[in-house]
Structure 1
Amino acid sequence: MEIHQLEMLRELGALGSVKAVADTLLVTPSAVSQQLAALQRSVDVPLTRKEGRNLVLTEAGQVLADAGAAVVSAMADARSALGAYHGSPVAPVTLSGFHSAGQALFAPLARLLAGPGQPEVRLSDEDVAQQDFPALTARYDLVLAHRMDHSPRWPVERVAVIPLAHEPLDVALPAGHRLAGQRAVTADDVVGEPWVTSHAGYSPADVLSAVAAVSSRELNIAHRINDYSTVAALVATGSVIGLLPRHTARPVLDPGIVLKPLEGISTRRRIDILARPENLKRRSVMMVCEALQTIMTDLVGG
């Protein structure tokens, strides 16, 4: 049983296919298959099983993968003791963010970390359904992720979680709308309006489904769009209303839009940083985490 075999098993659990593991680890699929087969021969219980086209871990395989994660983390501790890479403040850090987080945080982060002695941050956007965020930690040092309060918690046995914000989704109205002067709105106030909302599996669609359930009325969904800048532009035309995050949507707002709290329904989402535990032992990675916390604190306070 070798550490690299345990690492491949762990990545298989996160990514679901031999090819994805090979792409992540920069090896051939054949090499991954050979190492997984060698690992299987060293134990007397099945570690994987076929599920459609995917290869998934059995319960025993997941137990071994989790144990392997602890081994990998311990090896990271050993490397940290050597100092050079883990202690470097300028080592590259890869960061993935969903779209609204990227719009609100990426530019301030680049400005804050500009100059000598700062980490080199490599940014990517990955707007996925909630259950797919943890798997992104196989490809990025840090992952900005969001989930609704009522949604399943992150798998903390596999990823570390650093909270960033607890953000409401507000109803976005055209400034001239009949409800724009109210302090807040209810489900009954807005359920009959034409809506622009996200695709199923994303936060705005979850909230809007609750609006329909509470009011016992059918929704009038005109558009399904995930990008908040497009949502804001459509709301500003006066033809639809939508849902926008209170803090991270600020870069896309204009005077033609007002945000109103939605009463009687839980609309808060948690914005968190997800990471493999061993990555948080690197100084440059923690510097990026601290910068993100500073920026988010200023954004929420502002």
Structure 2
Amino acid sequence: MDERQLRILRELGELGSVTAVAEALLVTPSAISQQLRLLQRPIPVPLTERRGRRLVLTDAGQALARAAIEVETALARARHSVGEFLDHEEGEVSVAAFHSAGTTFFPLLLRALTGPGSPVVRLGDEDVAQEDFPRLTRAYDLVLAHRLDHAPPWPDTVTAATLLREPLDVAMPAGHPLAAKRRVTPRDVADQPWITVHDGFPVLATIEAIAAAAGRRLRLAHRINDFTVVAEAVAAGGGLALMPRWTMRPHPDLVLRPLSGVQARRHIDVLHRPERTARAAVRTVVTELRRAAHTVRGGETA
């Protein structure tokens, strides 16, 4: 039995005929009769009986109709509770981010969502390979993920919106000979040692593109995922590195130079399962992430 069948039984008890129930529910009498047959099938005693040309409820049918009122009332309360939950802006919203995005977006979110009536954000850092970001949407309402400009789109199982299209610049010590240039090319940097990420992480594809454009393999001296650690290693003379332009705090001993001849840009996207944004609290956090992204860009075009 389901809610619709129970409602038909209740209406039959009140209206007294299949035709009247069909008119009230805006369906055909045959559809009403079919639902009554489906309702009757698992029940061992008759729910209805004929009295002349009318179909009326038996004692068992009347008992079930009374229970149907309780069921409908409980379902109405449940829908109201769900509606309040979905419309409530003060609920908890879980947000995951890879390290550099967390460093940038988490403080802005925490400062923006401090007033009364604001959602409570629960933050988590997740440093995973690109292909693993969609899986995180099982555990988190929102996931900040990154992929390169030319990378395949995220799977259809998640909804994605781009917050930033962030350039990746070449980081070098302030006293490095290439620091005198306004821009550098793949040939300029091909003979330098490099600090880059582990396999499976988006930045590595840009390193490979630099090598292809220069016509030679780059020397990968160190493998470090955390950009804050990378910055210290570059400053200490460990090699050059690709560094995000907006989501890394400036380092006093480093300079960043744009790269010519190679498309070096990453998307920072917010991923979520489609049903998560039914909640007002989640939509509020997405809005704040967009505002934070505008702040991070500082007026530059995304």
Deviation for aligned residue 1:142? 0.4
Amino acid of the structure 2 residue aligned with 1:131: E
SS at match of 2:194: strand
Structure 2 residue matching 1:214: 3-state secondary structure = helix
Match of 1:265 among 239, 262, 267: 262
Larger radius of gyration: 2
- Normalised to the residue count of structure 1, the TM-score between the two structures is 0.71
Which secondary structure state, in structure 2, belongs to the residue aligned with residue 196 of structure 1?
A: strand
Which amino acid in 1 is paired with 2:272? A
| Equivalence for 1:165 | 164
Q: Which whole-Å CA distance do the structure 2 matches of 1:160 and 1:171 have between them?
A: 31
Letter in 2 for 1:265: V
Determine the C-alpha separation between the residues in 2 that align with 1:82 and 1:227: 41
Deviation of the 1:203 alpha carbon: 2.2
1:99 maps to what in 2? Answer: 99
* Unaligned runs of at least 5 residues, structure 2: 1-77
Q: Secondary structure at the match of 1:258?
A: strand
| Structure 1 range deviating more: 79-88 or 172-181 | 79-88
Shift of 1:180: 0.7
Distance between the aligned counterparts of 2:230 and 2:219, measured in 1? 15
- Residue 299 of structure 1, aligned match among 285, 296, 301: 296
Q: Could you say which residue in structure 1 is the equivalent of 2:284?
A: 287
Which residue is 1:138 aligned to?
138
Question: Counterparts of 1:128-207 in structure 2 under 5 Å?
Answer: 128-155=128-155, 157-207=156-206
Residue 4 of structure 1 corresponds to none
Runs ≥4 residues deviating over 3 A? 78-82
Task: Provide the residue aligned with 2:114 in structure 1.
Answer: 114
The two structures have a TM-score, normalised by structure 2, of 0.71
Listed one character per residue, the Cα deviations across residues 78-133 of structure 1 (whole Å, up to 9, x for unaligned) are 95894211111110000010111001111111111113211010000111111111
- Cα distance in 1, alignment partners of residues 175 and 201 from structure 2: 28
Deviation at 1:204, TM superposition (A): 2.2
Structure 1 residue 161 displacement after superposition: 1.2
C-alpha distance in 2, partners of 1:120/1:81? 19
> How far did residue 154 of structure 1 move?
0.8
Q: Aligned AA for 2:280?
A: R
- How far apart are the structure 1 equivalents of 2:243 and 2:130? 17
Distance verdict in 2 for CA 1:82–1:123, change over 3 Å: closer
Question: Kindly, what percent of the aligned residue pairs are identical?
Answer: 49
Aligned to 1:241: 240
CA distance in 2, matches of 1:240, 1:167: 22
